[in-house]
Chains A and B, each alone.
Chain A
């Protein structure tokens, strides 16, 4: 501090220049260096909790190693990967991840779009409805899944009770493949619809009002306005939510795990009828205690996400060119 506050004594030019140089050096360090210091915490955390695990996981996936004896590793090369490729459980889990993903993402985004459109109208207590739309998102996966599990229970669940009122026999939600996948999707839909609706709403409000007015003057109905003005206006947000939902669907884990409860949750039902990739990873690692095979599934999921991402980029570009 003394350097910058005291004035140079008797104006000796040599010392002054030296000080000046030091000062500019410090200044440069400050300007150039400080930003790195600011972003450092993130990268340190990223290195410790993302990058290192990523590398370590790939190392483990080349070994045969059990959870209780992590110090004993047996090199097996790419055996785990070829075994996974030949394992029908993997393809089953992949297909389930896909079907549950579609079952949950498509209705979810459509409903969110509709909900956002309604919220976009001028209406009384709009803040209340917006907050209400977001509440499910704030509940924990665990709580939501537990409640839905009770609702979908075979003998005494509320949903079967309501269905019995209209003459439908008890459905064994858990043991029937499509029923189980629908039930799990409903948990996802319930939690995320409001969240996506608010994203759409934010984008919709950025659409200039005069476009609607112009459309109305041209005689467009509400529905036509929605299709021709609103949807094109928020196209990039729609793509964004599709990306987010796809990532979420690929990693689906908590809902099916809790839906099945106990050993059946881990294997995604007695017949693996709703086992997702996340559950398969968990089963290999934390039920069979085969960390090498679990790490292989983790990498397969990672590669899959990259593939999905690339495909989406391509689709986006093609769509942009068309537009």
Chain B
């Protein structure tokens, strides 16, 4: 009997282990139906969203507001902290055809690549009702060659210069925002000249004039309609005078020791803001929230915002709807609502994301907005004026995001590793060749 029981036991165990092995195989093959997570259950509609960074929809309660107004809609939003991680996952999901959400956020640096290579997977939003209020250049950035629009605009990034009044004062520079703006009116090289004056008269040699040379580089190239690529999609950075000039001036700032040798949004930059190791930074509208948070209450009122030498746009995003989504119609309505003028104005007021909607730009909430933290600076007017100066056409390229990173690393080579600008350019050139070739 005992023997029999033992035998039975081995048999059961064998059967279980064989079954579980089979189960593993089945589990690998057949779990995913390639959907987008959203769906309909009776008259309840579930919409899923994939977002990144601080786009503000979830953080400011806009999604909750929408659900309250539409009791049959449930929105599930996944927010990835880091855009690079988000985009890598999005690409994998697009390639595999699974794991996508009904609505996906698109960062400006990826807009061209997606509208070139993946437009079939996005719904055409050209005809969605009530979406003719965007800045024309904003929508042209996500319009594919066949006029298909793969996303609707959220925010844009008009640029200004954020500066420290107290630090400017101690080195004899003006502190009033209009006078400061005059200091470098019309030409970025005057900004660097102001930096040289700052350095000469500064009483504290621990304080640098600006945070990083790559911020200056970005501001200069984003003021032109053509940056790294031309309209035909050819790489032209090496011959584009705008890029050349920006490189020259940025490396001049780096070699004249005007920078704190930091990298924006990387370690050291936040404590630099908190401990005042630099007196100015080129700041797109969305950066104000970051500065006020990281510089903290003890620096409140010391910061101010002045108009930049030239208008430029850094950043901004879009929301696209996936073709595969079973709730396409509802998702489009949600995207149209989230990017509508009222919501854009609300987001600007709440977290400082500057509207891409022309209607919103004229709304009093935007025009009359002042920033308490930045000494009451009329940020609505300053950034609004900068937005008007942004060139009407902006040529995007497929690898814009990557190339931008490579350029800021190239400037780090000069700034922190004492490479000669020529040498650093050569390295940068080779790297872009590898990354974009």
> Is B402 within 8 A of A288, CB to CB?
yes
> Is B91 within 8 A of A67, CB to CB?
yes
Cross-interface CB contact of B21 among A40, A154, A156, cutoff 8 Å: A40
Report Cα–Cα, A263/B408, bound state, in Å. Answer: 10
Report Cα–Cα, A271/B7, bound state, in Å. Answer: 65
> Is A288 within 8 A of B18, CB to CB?
no
Contacts of A251 in B (CB 8 A): none
Report Cα–Cα, A36/B20, bound state, in Å. Answer: 13
Whether A270 touches B95, Cβ cut-off 8 Å, given contacts A37-B14, A149-B267, A155-B272, is no
> Is A270 within 8 A of B413, CB to CB?
yes
Cross-interface CB contact of B14 among A38, A150, A263, cutoff 8 Å: A38
Report Cα–Cα, A174/B261, bound state, in Å. Answer: 12
Chief secondary structure at chain A's binding surface: helix
Report Cα–Cα, A154/B417, bound state, in Å. Answer: 14
Does A262 reach chain B (CB closer than 8 Å)? Answer: yes
Contacts of B275 in A (CB 8 A): 155-156
Residue from A38, A68, A70, A287 with most neighbouring chain B CB atoms (10 Å): A68
Which of chain A's residues 161-209 have a Cβ closer than 8 Å to chain B? 172, 174-175
Which of chain B's residues 257-288 have a Cβ closer than 8 Å to chain A? 261, 263, 265-268, 271-272, 275, 277
Report Cα–Cα, A287/B13, bound state, in Å. Answer: 47
> Is A37 within 8 A of B17, CB to CB?
yes
Does B200 reach chain A (CB closer than 8 Å)? Answer: no
Contacts of B20 in A (CB 8 A): 41
Contacts of B419 in A (CB 8 A): 271
> Is A68 within 8 A of B117, CB to CB?
yes
Contacts of A27 in B (CB 8 A): 7
Which of chain A's residues 17-51 have a Cβ closer than 8 Å to chain B? 27, 30, 33-34, 37-38, 40-41, 44-45, 48
Does B129 reach chain A (CB closer than 8 Å)? Answer: no
Chain B 70-86 interface mask (CB, 8 Å, partner A; 1/0): 00000000000000100
Which of chain A's residues 64-80 have a Cβ closer than 8 Å to chain B? 67-71
Does B135 reach chain A (CB closer than 8 Å)? Answer: no
Contacts of A264 in B (CB 8 A): 263, 266, 409, 412
> Is B412 within 8 A of A175, CB to CB?
yes
Question: B: which residues have CB within 8 A of A?
Answer: 4, 7, 10-11, 13-15, 17-18, 20-21, 24-25, 28, 84, 88, 91-92, 94-96, 113, 117-118, 261, 263, 265-268, 271-272, 275, 277, 402, 405, 408-410, 412-413, 416-417, 419, 427, 434-435
What would be 8 A-B contacts, judged by CB atoms less than 8 Å apart? A41-B24, A48-B25, A68-B95, A71-B95, A155-B268, A267-B409, A270-B417, A286-B88
User: 9 additional contacts, CB 8 Å, given A30-B7, A261-B266, A261-B267?
Assistant: A37-B21, A44-B24, A48-B24, A155-B277, A174-B267, A175-B416, A264-B409, A270-B413, A288-B434
